Structure 1
C-alpha cells in the first residue's frame, strides 16, 4: 500500500455546546471515539465554563489523519433563548470549527432537521427519542442517563456523516 492508497476511515459527529459531545465512527459503524466536549472554567468572581479548544485539539489530534469528515450540528437561536446562551453556543460552535480547520479535518455544518430526519428521529420529538434511537444502533453502549442525549446526538450525527456522499 502506498501513501496515495491510504484512505482516512473515520467520520466525526459533533453536538456543539458546553454539554456537547464528539463521536467517531468507522465505516462499519463501530464506535472509535465517544467523549463529552472538554470544558474549562474561566473568569474570576462568577466562574463560567467554556469549551476547552486546546483540550478538544488534544483529543482529536491523534486521530485527525484518519478522519475524512466531521459533521457539526448547525446552531441557531430558538424562541425564548437568552442572548447570553445564544452567544455562548455560537462561540462554542465557532471554536469547534476552528479546531477542526487547524487540524485539517474537513467539516460540514448540518441543520438539526436534516440529520435527524436522515437517521430516523421524528420531527418534534424530545431528546429522549435521540437516546432511544442511538441505543438501538449501539446496544453495547449505556446511554441511559438523561444527560447522555448529547452523546447520542453526536453518535447520530456521525452516523449521518457515513451516509454523506463526501464521506464515501
Structure 2
C-alpha cells in the first residue's frame, strides 16, 4: 500500500511511503502568486506528483494522511488564511482524484514518537533514527518538515496496518 504523508503548508513536505520504506520525500510544490511574490501551494504540480506515484495502483491501495492543522494563538490572520488555503488545496486534489484521506492531529503522531514538548528539530532526529538510510536527505535543519511528513506516513503505517 502506498501511503502519502503530508505536512501541509507552504514550507511543508510530502512523503511517499510503501511497505514501511520511504520511496521519496519532496518539499511542498509552490509557485509565486501576485505582485508581492508571495508563495502559494502549486496544486497542479501536486496533482502531477500524486499521479506519477499512484500510476497503476487501485484506489484501495493508496492512503493520503494529512496533518490535521488548525489556527494557533499568536499567528496572524493572513498567515492562517494562507495555511488554510494550502490545506484546502490538498483536500480538493485528493477529493478530485478520489483518494481516501485520513487526518491526524500533531499531538497524536508526536505522542506516538515521543516528541511531545520537544524542539521542532527533534522530529528530524527521530526520523533519522528510524530510517538511517534516509539521513543524507535530512541533513539540514530546514529538513524538519520532511521529517514530519515521514513520521506522519510512518505513524499511519504502524497504527493502521491491521485496519486495512
TM-score by length of 2: 0.90
Question: How much does 1:161 deviate?
Answer: 1.4
Q: How does 1:69-108 map to 2 (within 5 A)?
A: 69-108=63-102
Match of 1:160 among 148, 155, 160: 155
> Any gaps of 5 or more consecutive residues in structure 1?
1-8
Root-mean-square deviation (CA, aligned residues, Å) is: 1.5
- 1:32-80 Cα shifts (integer Å, max 9, x gaps): 1210110000102x11000000000011112235352111001111111
Match of 1:14 among 6, 13, 17: 6
- 2-structure distance, mates of 1:139, 1:24: 17
Residue aligning to 2:125: 132
> Any gaps of 5 or more consecutive residues in structure 2?
none
- 2-structure distance, mates of 1:132, 1:121: 12
- 1:102-140 Cα shifts (integer Å, max 9, x gaps): 12210111110011112x132111111100000011111
TM-score by length of 1: 0.88
